[in-house]
Amino acid sequence: MPDTPAAAQPQIVITGAAGALGRAVTQHVLDQGARVALLDRDAAHLRQAFPGLENSPHLLLPADVSSAGSVAQAAAQILRTFGTVDAVVHIAGGFEMGEPVHGLDRAAWDRMMDLNAWSFVAVTQAFAPAMIERGAGAFVAVSAKSAGRGVAHMAAYCASKSALQRLVESAAAELAPHGIVVNSIAPGVLDTPANRQAMPDANPSEWVSTTVAAQTIAFLAGGGAQALHGQHLVLD
């Protein structure tokens, strides 16, 4: 991961770790020798997803990414334990089909914006200061291909992912002078059990493998992506 000494163990924070993509990313970076701090809203879900990581050098912490206070509390514990964080992979978010724009409910709008856009603000607030002090680090967000264009009955979701991309671009410009890179992946449909259940008539071979997405995320979190700033790698 970014510019750590050859013998150093990369230390990586992953939000939404208990989900399908979170598990794939976690396994990939563990295979690369990383030490991980895994965040998810439900502590029991985390323990169930990663039973072998309890009572280990890794951390499993509950956190609500839509709450800056909750993320800050988790970050403080991570930084006390790890000392430094090389990369933060922000996977946590949400998806909802919804009403047409003219019938959109404010609660649904706020829910998507909190989960997909504000959560990135909360995560960068929690971890960027320590990275700035160190002069190195990486943030990788998970956006969506649909951030590029509105889709019927997905207005709040598409708008929130578009907002996330603008936040990634702004943060990239702000943090690049401090040696920190900020980028995102923008997958189409991910091949997850939930998506297979929701779309039983679709062809999953046309979707994006979580294994491939995890490899791309690891690249963006690593030293090879030091010349990428505010980019959204479309996976489709």
Contact between 17 and 153 under an 8 Å Cβ cutoff? The reply is no
Quote the CA–CA distance of 70 and 73 in Å, as a whole number: 5
**Which position among 71, 157, 185, 186 bears the catalytic label?**
157
C-alpha closest to that of 204 among 186, 188, 191, 187: 191
Cα–Cα distances (Å) from 115 to 21, 161, 180, 197, in that order, read 16, 10, 23, 22
Active site residue 233: no
The residues near 200 (Cβ < 8 Å, ≥ 6 apart) are none
Per-residue burial over 208-218, b = 16 or more CB atoms within 10 Å of its CB, e = otherwise: bbbeebbebbb
Catalytic residues: 157
